C-alpha cells in the first residue's frame, strides 16, 4: 500500500516535473521564436542591403532593401541565382543590378567596394561585407552592403580637385605626370609613338602687369576654352593640361612628327582671332615646343626637357610659332646654361670691358660722342658677343648689376678723356628695359652721375622700343630720369613696335635709325624712303637723328645730304677699347 502510494507520488512528481519542464521549454521556444522574428525584422527593415546565398549562388535570405534594389518581391528572388534573375528581368525589359554574382564562396570575411546598377538603371556604390557561415552543414555567405555613393562622390570630387586646375578646370601637372607615364608605357608596349607638346603665351607677363591679374586669369580661361573646343572637334585623342602659370601641355598619343606639326598649326590658328579681355582686343600668340617618343627621348623626363628646349628655341627666335626638338637646340640650350653660369662670376672676375664707337656730327665731320658697347671675354667660353649674353643677363636679372658697372665705367672713361684731350664728348650708354623696370634704377643713375662728376647733359641713355610694352609706369620713370638732365635716345628705331604714335609720349632727345635700314640704303629705294620719313618726323618732334651701321662713304654722304644729324658705323670706326683712341 505504502509502495503503491510512493509510486503514485513519484508519478505525480514526475508529471508535475515534466509539466514544469514542458512549460519551461515552451517559454524558451517562444522566447527563441520571438527573438528570431525580431532578428528577421531587423534584417528586413535594415536600410542596408542584406542577403545570403548558398554555394551555388542561390539566394536563401534577402531583405526588403535588397528586394527593392533588384525590383522584385522577396519570394520571387529566394532560390534563384543572379543570372536567372537577370534573364527574367531583362526579358521584362528592365535592367538589373550587377556585380554581386557569387562564383566561389569566400573563406574569410572580406570587404569590397562595388558599383551596382539598380533595376531602373541607376548606378550606386556599395561597400559589401561578406561572411562565410554554416547553416545545417551547408556553406553559405551572408552579405551586407552599405550605400557609400555619397562618400564615393565626395572622394571623386577631392580626387578631381587634386588633379584639376581650379581656374580653367583643365587637368593639372599632377594628372599630366600620371598620364604621361601611362601613355609612355602604352607606346612602349605597342611600339607606338607619343608627342609631347608644350607651349606658353608670349608676353603673358605683360598682360598680367598691364591689365591686372584678373585679366590674366580671364585670358587663361579663354585660351583653355578655345583649346578644349579644338580637341573636341578636331583632335579627340589629344589631352590638354595646364601645368601652371601660362604653361600648357598636350599629350598626343600615336601622333608622329607630321601629325604633331598639323596639331601645332591648328593650335596657332586658334590664336589668330584676338581675345577680348578687360574691354580691349588683345592679339596673343603661343610659342610651342614639341618632342616625340621614341625619337627625342625614351622617358618622361627627357621628353619634357626637350619639348621645353624646343619651346625656348621658338621664344628666342621670334615667338608665335612651333618647333620640333632637334639635338642642335640642345647644344643651344646647354650653351645658354653655360653662359648663365659663367655670367654669375663675370663681374667679380673682371671679365667685362667696355669698347667705344664714335658718333660723328655729319655737318662738321667731327667726333660728337661715343657709344659704349660691352665686351665679355670669359675664361671658359672665350669671347661671347653681347647679342648672345645680354638677353640672358636680362632674363636672369644680372643685367641690373652689370648695367651699374657699365654706367660707372663709361662715365669714368668720359672723365678720363676729358682730362686727356680736354674735350667733352657725349657718352651714350645702352640701358635695357629690365634695368628700367628695377625700382632702384632712378637712384642708381642719380648716384652714379653724382659720384662721377660728369655733367648730365653729356650723358645719353639709349633705350629700345620694347619699353612701349610698359607704357604708363615707364613714361613716369623716363620723365624722372630726364629731370636729372640726361638725354634719352631711342635705339634701333624702326625695328620694334614700329608705331610712330608713341614717340611723342616719351621725353626723347634723339632717334637712332636701326642699321638694317642704313646698310645698303643706296641700292634700296624703300629704305631710302623710310630713312627720309623718319628724319622728317624727327624734325617735327624736335628730335635729333643718328644713323647707325654706316659702312660706306656713299651712305655717309647720302645721310649728310638728306639732313641726318649724326652717323655711326664701321666706315667711321669699329668699336674699340678706350686706349686705342689716341686723338678724339
User: Which residues are at the interface with Ca ion (CB under 5 A)?
Assistant: 430, 462, 491-492
Q: Does 570 bind ligand C2E (CB under 6 A)?
A: yes
DSSP state of 373: E
Cell of 573: 670706326
311 or 546: whose CB is closer to ligand C2E?
546
**By CB under 6 A, what part of segment 127-146 binds ligand C2E?**
none
Q: Which of 140, 492, 544, 567 binds ligand C2E (CB under 6 A)?
A: 492
- Which DSSP letter does residue 578 get? G
Q: What residues from 526 to 555 belong to the interface with ligand C2E (CB under 6 A)?
A: 548-551
Helix axis angle for 441-452 and 399-421, nearest 10°, is 20
**Hey, what's the cell of 286?**
603661343
The answer to whether the Cα torsion of 204, 209, 211, 215 is positive or negative is: positive
Is 152 in contact with 125 (CB distance < 8 Å)? yes
175, 210, 288, 390: residue in contact with ligand C2E (rule CB under 6 A): 390
Binding flag, residue 437, ligand C2E (CB under 6 A): no
- How many residues bind to ligand C2E according to rule CB under 6 A? 22
In the complex, minimum distance from the CB of residue 441 to ligand C2E, in angstroms, rounded to a whole number: 12
Residue 340 touches which of Ca ion, ligand C2E, none (Cβ within 5-8 Å per kind): none
CA distance 144 to 193: 47
Query: Where in 502-521 is the site for ligand C2E (CB under 6 A)?
Result: 515
Distances (CA, A) of 569 to 111, 417, 474, 550: 84, 21, 30, 4
By CB under 6 A, name the one of 107, 387, 472, 542 that touches ligand C2E: 387
Neighbours of 54 (CB within 10 A): 18
Kindly tell me which of 50 and 373 has the beta carbon lying closer to Ca ion. Answer: 373
Shortest distance in whole angstroms from residue 461 CB to Ca ion: 10
Instruction: Confirm or reject binding of residue 374 to ligand C2E (CB under 6 A).
Output: yes
Rounded least distance, CB 474 to ligand C2E, Å:
16
HSE toward the beta carbon, residue 421, CA cutoff 13 A: 13
Q: What is the rounded CA–CA span in Å between residue 200 and residue 244?
A: 10
Which among ligand C2E, Ca ion, none contacts residue 373 (Cβ within 5 to 8 A by kind)?
A: ligand C2E
Q: Which residues contact 181 (CB under 8 A, 6 or more apart)?
A: 300
Rounded to 5 degrees, what are φ and ψ at 92?
Answer: -85, 5
**Strand 352-361 vs strand 576-577: parallel, antiparallel, or unpaired?**
antiparallel
* 168 CB neighbour count, 10 Å cutoff: 21
Partner that binds at residue 374, options Ca ion, ligand C2E, none, CB closer than 5 to 8 Å by kind: ligand C2E
Question: Between residue 313 and residue 342, which ones bind ligand C2E under the rule CB under 6 A?
Answer: none
Min dist. Cβ of residue 402 to ligand C2E (A): 8
Query: Is there binding between residue 488 and ligand C2E (CB under 6 A)?
Result: no
Q: Least distance in Å: CB of 492 to Ca ion? A: 4
Return residues touching ligand C2E (CB under 6 A): 357, 372-374, 385-387, 390, 406, 430-432, 491-492, 515, 548-551, 569-570, 575
Amino acid at each position: 500500500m505504502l509502495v503503491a502510494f510512493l509510486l503514485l507520488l513519484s508519478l505525480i512528481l514526475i508529471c508535475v516535473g515534466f509539466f514544469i519542464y514542458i512549460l519551461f521549454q515552451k517559454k524558451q521556444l517562444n522566447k527563441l521564436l520571438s527573438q528570431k522574428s525580431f532578428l528577421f525584422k531587423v534584417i528586413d527593415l535594415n536600410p542596408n542591403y542584406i542577403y545570403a546565398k548558398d554555394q551555388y549562388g542561390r539566394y536563401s535570405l534577402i531583405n526588403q532593401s535588397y528586394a527593392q534594389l533588384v525590383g522584385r518581391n522577396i519570394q520571387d528572388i529566394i532560390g534563384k541565382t543572379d543570372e536567372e534573375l537577370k534573364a527574367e528581368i531583362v526579358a521584362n525589359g528592365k535592367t538589373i543590378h550587377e556585380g554581386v554574382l557569387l562564383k566561389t564562396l569566400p573563406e574569410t570575411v572580406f570587404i569590397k567596394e562595388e558599383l551596382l546598377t539598380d533595376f531602373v538603371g541607376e548606378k550606386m556604390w556599395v561597400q559589401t561585407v561578406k561572411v562565410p557561415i554554416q547553416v545545417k552543414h551547408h556553406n553559405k555567405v551572408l552579405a551586407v552592403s552599405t550605400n557609400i555613393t555619397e562618400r564615393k562622390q565626395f572622394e571623386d570630387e577631392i580626387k578631381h580637385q587634386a588633379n584639376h586646375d581650379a581656374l580653367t578646370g583643365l587637368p593639372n601637372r599632377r594628372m599630366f605626370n600620371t598620364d604621361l607615364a601611362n601613355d609612355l608605357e602604352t607606346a612602349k608596349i605597342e611600339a607606338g609613338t607619343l608627342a609631347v607638346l608644350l607651349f606658353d603665351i608670349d608676353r603673358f607677363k605683360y598682360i598680367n602687369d598691364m591689365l591686372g591679374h584678373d585679366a590674366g586669369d580671364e585670358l587663361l580661361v579663354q585660351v583653355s576654352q578655345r583649346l578644349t573646343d579644338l580637341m573636341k572637334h578636331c583632335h579627340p585623342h589629344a589631352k590638354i593640361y595646364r601645368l601652371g602659370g601660362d604653361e600648357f601641355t598636350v599629350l598626343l598619343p600615336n601622333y608622329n612628327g607630321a601629325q604633331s606639326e598639323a596639331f601645332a598649326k591648328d593650335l596657332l590658328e586658334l590664336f589668330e582671332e584676338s581675345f577680348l579681355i578687360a574691354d580691349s582686343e588683345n592679339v596673343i600668340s603661343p610659342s610651342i615646343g614639341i618632342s616625340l617618343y621614341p625619337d627625342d627621348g625614351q622617358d618622361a623626363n627627357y621628353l619634357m626637357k626637350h619639348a621645353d628646349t624646343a619651346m625656348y628655341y621658338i621664344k628666342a627666335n621670334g615667338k608665335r610659332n612651333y618647333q620640333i626638338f632637334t639635338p642642335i637646340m640642345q647644344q643651344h640650350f646647354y650653351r645658354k646654361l653655360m653662359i648663365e653660369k659663367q655670367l654669375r662670376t663675370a663681374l667679380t672676375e673682371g671679365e667685362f670691358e667696355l669698347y667705344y664707337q664714335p658718333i660723328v656730327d655729319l655737318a662738321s665731320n667731327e667726333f660728337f660722342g661715343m657709344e659704349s658697347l660691352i665686351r665679355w671675354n670669359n675664361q671658359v667660353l672665350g669671347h661671347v658677343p653681347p647679342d648672345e649674353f645680354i638677353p640672358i643677363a636680362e632674363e636672369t636679372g644680372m643685367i641690373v648689376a652689370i648695367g651699374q658697372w657699365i654706367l660707372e665705367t663709361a662715365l669714368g672713361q668720359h672723365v678720363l678723356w676729358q682730362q686727356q684731350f680736354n674735350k667733352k664728348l657725349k657718352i651714350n650708354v645702352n640701358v635695357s628695359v629690365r634695368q628700367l623696370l628695377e625700382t632702384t634704377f632712378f637712384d642708381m643713375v642719380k648716384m652714379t652721375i653724382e659720384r662721377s662728376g660728369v655733367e648730365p647733359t653729356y650723358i645719353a641713355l639709349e633705350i629700345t622700343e620694347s619699353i612701349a610694352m610698359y607704357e604708363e609706369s615707364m613714361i613716369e620713370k623716363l620723365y624722372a630720369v630726364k629731370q636729372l638732365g640726361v638725354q634719352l635716345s631711342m635705339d634701333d628705331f624702326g625695328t620694334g613696335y614700329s608705331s610712330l604714335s608713341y614717340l611723342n609720349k616719351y621725353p626723347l632727345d634723339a632717334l637712332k635709325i636701326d642699321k638694317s635700314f642704313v646698310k645698303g640704303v643706296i641700292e634700296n629705294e624703300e629704305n631710302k624712303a623710310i630713312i627720309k620719313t623718319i628724319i622728317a618726323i624727327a624734325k617735327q618732334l624736335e628730335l635729333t637723328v643718328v644713323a647707325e651701321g654706316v659702312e660706306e662713304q656713299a651712305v655717309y654722304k647720302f645721310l649728310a645730304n638728306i639732313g641726318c644729324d649724326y652717323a655711326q658705323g664701321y666706315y667711321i670706326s669699329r668699336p674699340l677699347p678706350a686706349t686705342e683712341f689716341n686723338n678724339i
